[in-house]
């Protein structure tokens, strides 16, 4: 059969993830992982820190959302009040895209997710944070503001995910990422860092600061 010649092409169900996630993926017509998802998801599910470089459009969003949600569904929380996973993206637009994908995956579950984006009403965000969301999708500046104002606490954070790290550095958010890194349970948390490129001069330093003995998944630019 055709499949025998492509034994490296896995199905999402082979990752051993929760049935509810598989159902929500299937509703979107997603059954087979992309290259980056094949390589990144098992590492992320194992609890290891991870650095991923692969080009735009290769499917990095599900490479972090699937293992993040699996952890939230399956493992006991470190804290009942603090967010369990924080996803940092460089811009509002990207945050909205990630959040839309997240919403589809958690439909029908009791996982609470919120967006903390620059430009939105600060007091509304304080109210949303008081509902103790499990997952936050944020832009760096506004999340840093909430940390400084003590309206967001990350002591119980289990997963810190940095999406588009190269663009985050381009936009000058190093200080905000440093603050988030310091606040966010460095000892116990897992960190996943994603970038479309490797060339950025600050990516190495950022990886060293944020990640503990990371596994690296780098797919050639032409992939």
Give residues in contact with ligand ADP (CB under 6 A). 30, 32-34, 37, 56-62
Residue 173 beta carbon to ligand ADP: minimum distance, rounded to whole angstroms: 18
Residue 113 or 128 with smaller CB distance to Mg ion: 113
Residue 125 or 195 with smaller CB distance to Mg ion: 195
Residue 181 beta carbon to Mg ion: minimum distance, rounded to whole angstroms: 21
Backbone angles phi, psi at 53, to 5 degrees: -120, 120
Backbone angles phi, psi at 69, to 5 degrees: -70, -35
Judged by CB under 5 A, the stretch of 58-66, 76-84, 139-147, 165-173 that binds Mg ion is 58-66
Residue 20 or 216 with smaller CB distance to Mg ion: 216
C-beta nearest to Mg ion: residue? 60
Tokens of 180: 């988030």
Q: Assess 60 for contact with Mg ion (CB under 5 A).
A: yes
Residue 204 beta carbon to ligand ADP: minimum distance, rounded to whole angstroms: 21
Residue 60 or 115 with smaller CB distance to ligand ADP: 60
Helix axes 35-45, 60-74, angle to 10 degrees: 30
Residue 34 beta carbon to ligand ADP: minimum distance, rounded to whole angstroms: 5
Q: Which residues are within 8 A (CB) of 141 and not within 5 positions of it... i.e. 6 or more apart?
A: 118, 173, 176
Residue 67 beta carbon to ligand ADP: minimum distance, rounded to whole angstroms: 14
Judged by CB under 5 A, the stretch of 15-23, 59-67, 74-82, 202-210 that binds Mg ion is 59-67
DSSP characters over 85-154: EEEE-SSHHHHHHHHHHHHHHHTTS---EEEE-TTS-HHHHHHHHHT--SEEEE-HHHHHHHHHTTS---
Distance CA 55, CA 34 (A): 12
Tokens of 59: 């499917």
- Name the binder of 214 from ligand ADP, Mg ion, none, CB < 5-8 A by kind: none
Identify whether the C-beta of residue 184 lies closer than 8 Å to the C-beta of residue 191. no
Contacting positions for Mg ion (CB under 5 A): 60
């Amino acid at each position: 059969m055709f499949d025998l010649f492509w034994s490296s092409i896995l199905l999402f169900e082979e990752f051993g993830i929760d049935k509810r996630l598989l159902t929500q993926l299937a509703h979107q017509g997603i059954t087979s992982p992309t290259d980056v998802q094949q390589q990144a998801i098992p590492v992320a599910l194992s609890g290891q820190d991870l650095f991923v470089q692969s080009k735009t459009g290769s499917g990095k969003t599900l490479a972090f959302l699937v293992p993040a949600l699996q952890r939230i569904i399956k493992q006991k929380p470190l804290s009942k009040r603090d967010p369990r996973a924080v996803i940092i993206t460089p811009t509002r637009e990207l945050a909205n895209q990630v959040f839309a994908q997240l919403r589809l995956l958690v439909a029908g579950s009791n996982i609470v997710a919120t967006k903390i984006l620059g430009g939105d009403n600060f007091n509304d965000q304080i109210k949303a944070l008081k509902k103790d969301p499990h997952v936050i999708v944020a832009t760096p500046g506004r999340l840093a503001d909430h940390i400084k104002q003590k309206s967001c606490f990350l002591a119980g954070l289990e997963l810190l995910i940095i999406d588009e790290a190269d663009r985050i550095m381009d936009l000058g958010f190093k200080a905000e990422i440093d603050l988030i890194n310091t606040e966010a349970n460095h000892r116990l948390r897992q960190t996943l860092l994603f970038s479309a490129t490797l060339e950025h001069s600050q990516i190495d330093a950022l990886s060293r600061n944020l990640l503990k003995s990371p596994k690296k998944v780098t797919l050639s630019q032409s992939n």
